[in-house]
């Protein structure tokens, strides 16, 4: 992961860490634990036990605990970005693009495809500045897709505000759904995406 996935390469469709490899399994378990308990409260012993190896063996694959978090974050963005780009191909109006952007972000936040955007927000503080910068690189590519569509939306009169501000509001509204939205209720994720669209556009 750390060596293979740059923003540029990602755009060419390079895949993530093999989930059958030891490293891939570690990352998967780490991701689940980070979401459940948070990075700080998850110990390397927790991750090792969930994967079925000794805690010390982790450091054959990762230099330190923080690197695990960074890899989880990078995989999360890369996966979500690739998925979003795929979905956007089928959207041929600005309205459809916006709806796709919202829907995909909700999918990512609620880990519909395994990965979980929430970690990106919650555990940011646990990354040192160098690692923050690395992850930000990936986020930049992702955010460009939003700003393009939001620019079009304003030109079309679908919203009043400029892109950055509106994007910030929408991101907050979406991320925070993790704190209240329950999949068991009458509102499914698609309907929620519709409601978000309705709150911010037209």
Partner DNA sequence: ACGAACCAAGCAAGCGCTTGGTTTTTAGAT
Partner DNA sequence: ATCTAAAAACCAAGCGCTTGCTTGGTTCGT
Choice between 89 and 182, CB closer to a copy of itself: 182
Binding to a copy of itself in span 71-100, by CB under 8 A: none
The DSSP-derived string for 76-91 is HHHHHHHHHHHHHTT-
Secondary structure class of 1 (helix, strand, coil): coil
Q: State in angstroms the smallest separation of the CB of 175 from a copy of itself.
A: 6
Q: What is the dihedral of CA 92, 6, 131, 76, to 10 degrees?
A: 50
Q: For residue 42, count other CB atoms closer than 10 A to its CB.
A: 22
Token output for 26 = 């570690």
Contact track, a copy of itself, 125-144, x by CB under 8 A: x-------------------
The binder of 170, among a copy of itself, DNA, none, by C-beta within 5 to 8 A per type, is a copy of itself
41 contributes a contact to a copy of itself by CB under 8 A = yes
Contact track, DNA, 32-71, x by CB under 7 A: ----------xxxx------xxxxxx-xxx--xxx-----
DSSP secondary-structure letter at 83?
A: H
Q: What is the C-alpha separation between 35 and 27, in angstroms, rounded?
A: 12
Q: What is the C-alpha separation between 132 and 126, in angstroms, rounded?
A: 9
The residues that touch a copy of itself, with contacts defined as CB under 8 A, are 37-38, 40-41, 121-122, 124-125, 159-161, 165-166, 168-177, 179-181, 195-196, 198-200
């Amino acid at each position: 992961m750390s060596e293979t996935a740059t923003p540029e390469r990602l755009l060419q469709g390079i895949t993530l860490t093999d989930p059958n490899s030891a490293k891939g399994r570690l990352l998967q378990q780490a991701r689940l634990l980070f979401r459940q308990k948070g990075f700080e409260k998850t110990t390397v012993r927790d991750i090792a036990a969930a994967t079925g190896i000794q805690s010390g063996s982790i450091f054959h694959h990762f230099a330190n605990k923080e690197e695990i978090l960074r890899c989880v974050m990078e995989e999360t963005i890369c996966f979500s970005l690739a998925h979003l780009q795929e979905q956007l191909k089928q959207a041929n109006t600005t309205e459809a693009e916006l709806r796709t952007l919202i829907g995909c972000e909700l999918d990512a936040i609620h880990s519909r495809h395994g990965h979980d955007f929430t970690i990106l927000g919650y555990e940011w503080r646990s990354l040192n500045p160098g690692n923050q910068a690395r992850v930000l690189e990936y986020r930049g590519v992702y955010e460009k897709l939003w700003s393009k569509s939001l620019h079009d939306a304003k030109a079309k009169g679908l919203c009043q505000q400029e892109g950055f501000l509106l994007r910030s509001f929408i991101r907050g509204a979406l991320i925070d759904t993790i704190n209240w939205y329950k999949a068991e209720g009458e509102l499914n994720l698609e309907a929620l995406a519709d409601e978000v669209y309705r709150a911010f556009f037209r």
